[in-house]
């Protein structure tokens, strides 16, 4: 009788989710079938203003419940685990996707003199990183995290261009490995680690390839890429496949084992230069058409931002009724209803 009562109690707790695998934390595995779909839900000018209203607005607009929700973890006020943002995302049943951005301000075009890659690799910020890891571990549920994305571009302080053409990639790998090692040593095993490159290396050079920055399969769980069309009104218009196809072949060569994903994609509304609706349609058709079978997840950059010249870059999925309809038709198709899968340390 006692065993029967205990079984009933355990079954009730399991049904309530208290003993669910997801609540224990774990690494996100690729889906057995289909493709995961997440989103960057209009995070504001700082890219870290994750709010219930913005998430709710996206879901209401599209009818889509994202698998993950992305936001930045800038180090403007120190190295701190973004617990408030994580909890906000979790309220929607989504996995928090944290972009760890090691910079003390917005300045681009030079290495960050506060959070430089060499300082990170040498252990200057180990105590802060251990606290970040401990807070992530305490949170307990699954997290996605990427360290210093788009490093093969020519804008972020951690870019190879600003850290030595010959040594920058090695320095980046050292810092990336060090961060992951600290997190793992602290027991934050609920973090899935993402490696995130840009589709086009800037500059295009032998020392600045995607693969040159890869920390190795030991440190990374998924490999992702940003794929953008025009990001500013009046800029040269490129179709999705013009950017993506060659970049996909390069991304495949980074690792033969890891699942691939489109970490960010989007394009501005600019009818004078090209059709955003057709760009979106081509992107989704390529992603779902079977030609790129290693793509196991995507996340659209649903955002609008002001430029210094006064123009507005509107990448939102509701920039026009036609764009919204096209996006909704694709994002709510069966292929993007993949069941979540996790792995757990025994």
What confidence score (pLDDT) does residue 330 get?
98
Q: Is the model's pLDDT at 23 over the cut of 80?
A: no
For the beta carbon of residue 285, count every other beta carbon within 10 angstroms.
Answer: 13
What confidence score (pLDDT) does residue 152 get?
97
| Nearest to 115, CA basis, from 135, 101, 97 | 101
Torsion angle, CA of 233/238/243/244, rounded to 10 degrees? 100
Report DSSP state, residue 335.
Answer: G
pLDDT tens track for 73-100: 999 999 999 999 999 999 999 999 999 9
What confidence score (pLDDT) does residue 15 get?
37
Q: How far apart are CA 268 and CA 231, in angstroms?
A: 5
Take residue 328 and report the two structure tokens written for it. Answer: 């909704």
Peptide bond preceding 203 in cis form (omega within 30 of 0): yes
Q: Is the model's pLDDT at 44 over the cut of 90?
A: no
Q: How far apart are CA 157 and CA 19, in angstroms?
A: 42
| Nearest to 136, CA basis, from 73, 199, 75 | 73
pLDDT tens track for 58-71: 999 999 999 999 99
Residue range 257-280: mean pLDDT, rounded: 97
Q: Using CB atoms within 10 A of its CB, is residue 263 exposed (0-12), middle (13-18) or buried (19+)?
A: buried
pLDDT tens track for 273-311: 999 999 999 999 999 999 999 999 999 999 998 888 889
Whose tokens are 């990001």? That residue is: 231
What confidence score (pLDDT) does residue 24 get?
64
Q: Three-state SS for 30?
A: coil
What confidence score (pLDDT) does residue 179 get?
98
Report DSSP state, residue 206.
Answer: G
Tell me which of 167-176, 222-231, 336-345 is least confident. Answer: 336-345
Q: Is the model's pLDDT at 251 over the cut of 60?
A: yes
What confidence score (pLDDT) does residue 345 get?
67
For the beta carbon of residue 231, count every other beta carbon within 10 angstroms.
Answer: 15
Q: How far apart are CA 154 and CA 170, in angstroms?
A: 17
Main-chain dihedrals φ then ψ at residue 56, nearest 5 degrees: -60, -40
More confident residue, 15 or 185: 185
Architecture of the domain made up of 29-340? Alpha-Beta Barrel (3.20)
What confidence score (pLDDT) does residue 276 get?
98
Share of the chain above pLDDT 70, in %: 92
| Nearest to 115, CA basis, from 152, 49, 162 | 162
Share of the chain above pLDDT 90, in %: 86
pLDDT band at 5 (very low <50, low <70, confident <90, very high): very low
């Amino acid at each position: 009788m006692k065993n029967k009562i205990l079984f009933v109690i355990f079954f009730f707790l399991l049904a309530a989710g208290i003993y669910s695998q997801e609540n224990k934390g774990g690494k996100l595995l690729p889906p057995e079938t289909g493709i995961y779909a997440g989103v960057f839900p209009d995070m504001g000018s700082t890219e870290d203003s994750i709010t219930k209203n913005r998430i709710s607005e996206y879901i209401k607009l599209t009818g889509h419940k994202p698998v993950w929700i992305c936001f930045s973890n800038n180090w403007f006020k120190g190295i701190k685990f973004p617990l408030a943002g994580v909890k906000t995302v979790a309220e929607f049943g989504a996995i928090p996707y944290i972009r760890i951005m090691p910079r003390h301000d917005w300045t681009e075009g030079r290495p960050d003199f506060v959070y430089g890659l060499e300082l990170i690799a040498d252990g200057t910020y180990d105590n802060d990183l251990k606290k970040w890891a401990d807070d992530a571990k305490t949170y307990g549920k699954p997290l996605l995290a990427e360290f210093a994305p788009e490093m093969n571009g020519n804008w972020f302080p951690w870019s190879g261009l600003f850290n030595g053409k010959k040594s920058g990639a090695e320095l980046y790998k050292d810092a990336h490995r060090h961060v992951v090692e600290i997190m793992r040593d602290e027991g934050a095993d609920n973090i899935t680690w993402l490696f995130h490159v840009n589709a086009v290396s800037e500059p295009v050079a032998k020392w600045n390839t995607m693969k040159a920055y890869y920390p190795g399969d030991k440190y990374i769980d998924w490999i992702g890429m940003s794929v953008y069309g025009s990001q500013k009104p009046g800029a040269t218009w490129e179709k999705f496949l013009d950017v993506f196809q060659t970049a996909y072949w390069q991304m495949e060569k980074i690792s033969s084992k890891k699942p691939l994903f489109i970490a960010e994609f989007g394009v501005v509304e600019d009818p004078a230069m090209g059709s955003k609706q057709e760009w979106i349609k081509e992107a989704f058709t390529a992603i779902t058409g079977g030609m790129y079978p290693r793509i196991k997840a995507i996340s659209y950059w649903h955002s609008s931002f002001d430029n210094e010249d006064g123009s507005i870059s509107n990448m939102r999925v509701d920039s026009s009724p036609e764009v919204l309809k096209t996006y909704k038709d694709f994002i709510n198709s069966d292929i993007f209803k993949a069941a979540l899968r996790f792995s757990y340390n025994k």
